[in-house]
């Protein structure tokens, strides 16, 4: 019997972080929420001010035999701009910073190795600022945030600030990155962009 594990990723708006992972085999569930702050049981209205110290995150329950943590990491790096310490794309503020929250020493080791690989790839002009942090108390976001893309029937897409970032992010990982990337991000010309 497989023991399910948890992975916690901050990658900007949690609405945008659900779809890429939920489509994968071995994913038991994804919960949008908050972690890393100094306020207990924060609300979205509090977190969005950027004053609680929380990150918007997704907590993923996964079967490591069907979809190993290494593959989750590969997919995660494809969703973010790891050089941006002020948020992600159009979502600005400390609550939109990127971070990997590890749940054990094995996850910490793999996350640090993955970050080093990204930094050594030569794809980015700026330093990689994505933090690798121990998992902290996770607070599920309000119900209306869960599965938001399904409830609204809207396509939630991200834009990339420049073409170099798009090309760089599309070349990291081992899956068919460019096709995967274009599926979720619109690149330079945005005709159907939605943000909170």
Strand ordering across the sheet containing 5-11: 131-134, 98-102, 5-11, 55-62, 27-35, 138-140
What is the b/e burial string over 6-15, where b = at least 16 CB atoms within 10 angstroms of the residue's CB? bbbbbbbbbb
Residue 176 CB neighbours (<10 A): 10
Backbone dihedral angles phi then psi of residue 26, each to the nearest 5 degrees: 80, 5
Residue 16 is a catalytic residue: no
Catalytic annotation, pick one of 13, 114, 166, 172: 13
Q: List residues with catalytic annotation.
A: 13
């Amino acid at each position: 019997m497989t023991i399910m594990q948890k992975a916690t990723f901050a990658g900007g708006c949690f609405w945008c972080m659900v779809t890429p992972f939920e489509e994968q085999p071995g994913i038991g569930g994804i919960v949008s929420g908050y972690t890393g702050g100094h306020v207990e049981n924060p609300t979205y209205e509090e977190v969005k001010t950027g004053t609680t110290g929380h990150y918007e995150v997704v907590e993923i329950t996964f079967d490591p035999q069907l979809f190993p943590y290494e593959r989750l990491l590969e997919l995660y790096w494809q969703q973010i701009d790891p050089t941006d310490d002020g948020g992600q794309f159009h979502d600005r503020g400390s609550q939109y910073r990127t971070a990997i929250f590890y749940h054990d020493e094995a996850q910490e080791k793999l996350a640090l190795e993955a970050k080093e690989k990204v930094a050594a790839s030569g794809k980015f002009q700026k330093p990689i600022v994505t933090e690798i942090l121990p998992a902290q108390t996770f607070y599920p976001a309000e119900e209306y945030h869960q599965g938001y893309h399904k409830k609204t029937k809207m396509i939630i897409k991200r834009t990339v600030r420049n073409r170099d970032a798009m090309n760089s992010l599309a070349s990291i990982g081992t899956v068919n990155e460019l096709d995967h990337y274009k599926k979720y991000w619109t690149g330079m010309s945005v005709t159907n962009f939605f943000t909170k």
